[in-house]
Amino acid sequence: MKKLAATTLLLTGLAAGTHAADPVVYTTNPVPAVEAVQAVIKEKTGLATGIITGGSGVLLRRIEAEKVAPQGDVFWSSSANTMGAFKEVLEPYASPELAAMPADLRVPDDYFQPANVHVVTVMVNTDQLNGSAAPTDWKDLADPAWKGRIILPDPANSSTGYTIVWGLSKLLDEATYKALVGNLVASSSSSAVPKGVAMGEYAVGLTFETNSYSYVDGGQSEISIVYPTSGTFTTPEFAALVKGAPAGEDAKKVIDALLSKEAQIELLKVAFRRPSRTDVKVSDYVKLPELSTIKVFKIDEEEAARSRDAFLAEWEALPKAGASK
């Protein structure tokens, strides 16, 4: 808890210490990622940036609440299936950096810009298996033996969680999906998922690759990353201009710098974020498999965004193993 409090003070301090005219970024990203991008923005534009952190749902609802008098300039980052519900408070922007992005990562009218690509993984603490075989596929986690031993982010407040459960609902048959959900513990904090697995509180965490790999890279040999055999889900994570951004053109400069090759390389090296650009080779910088070697089950991000409210209502009604703060 002390470490978390210090992180909060550090980031709010950054926001409070900047000049009123400096761009303010609302971000879901961890401290290393934020600091890496801040340095690139400063080097490329000369701009300092204020930082306000929180979960994607919380921050987007804050932007929505502030729409009459916006207080922030850039939101970074979340999935299209979450951001699509907030388009009215975001402003389209065709950044010149989009020329380096695959066409299928761009959204209609460029309401938001692809900042990186996430892969959903199963994070396993092998010290906590207690005689169970390590899972290799999603259906393994539907076994009652895993009840209460799997943690994931609450999809109502986390785009990570929403991407995972939406994808599972499409990939699995209904009975297997409901059985798996019944084993889950939902956490109100996305960061609590990998931490909980790394500390041995849970045997398994459903989270993005960037979160899993940070512990492997940090030397925790008991942590393994599973890419499910029947397929997993990828999702671009996006940044966006806030409509009516107080910083005006400087807000666009922040987006451009965030999407730059320099920023995406730093994010890959420091925070293990797969680039959205086509001119960065992942294996040149980290020991992650190339995306072409991972079996991917395609999900419809636009359908996920349209169906968000109804799907979350169904999710809330499903029995689960519990909830974690």
Angstrom distances, CA of residue 91 to CA of 240, 241, 274 = 7, 5, 25
CA distances from 190 to 29, 39, 43, 64 (A): 10, 25, 30, 21
State how far the alpha carbon of 156 is from the alpha carbons of 180, 204, 260, 279, in Å.
Answer: 18, 20, 31, 34
Task: Answer for the pair 258, 37: CB distance below 8 angstroms, yes or no.
Answer: yes
Q: Which residue ranges form the domains of the chain, and what is each CATH number?
A: 2-117+235-292 (3.40.190.10), 119-233+294-324 (3.40.190.10)
Q: What 3-state DSSP class applies to 22?
A: coil
Q: At a CB cut-off of 8 Å and minimum separation 6, what does 310 contact?
A: none
Mean predicted confidence (pLDDT) in 212-228: 95
Give me the helix-helix angle, 174-181 and 159-171, nearest 10°: 150
| Cα 109–chain centre separation | 22
Digit-coded pLDDT (tens) for 167-189: 999 999 999 999 999 999 999 88
Its pTM stands at 0.80
Q: What SS3 state is found at 296?
A: strand
Residue 13 has pLDDT above 50, yes or no: no
What are the pLDDT digits (tens) for 84-139? 889 999 999 999 999 999 998 999 999 999 999 999 999 999 999 998 899 999 99
State the DSSP H helix or E strand holding residue 279, giving kind and residue range, or none if neither: none
Find out whether 156 and 57 touch, Cβ atoms under 8 Å: yes
What's the chain's average pLDDT? Answer: 91
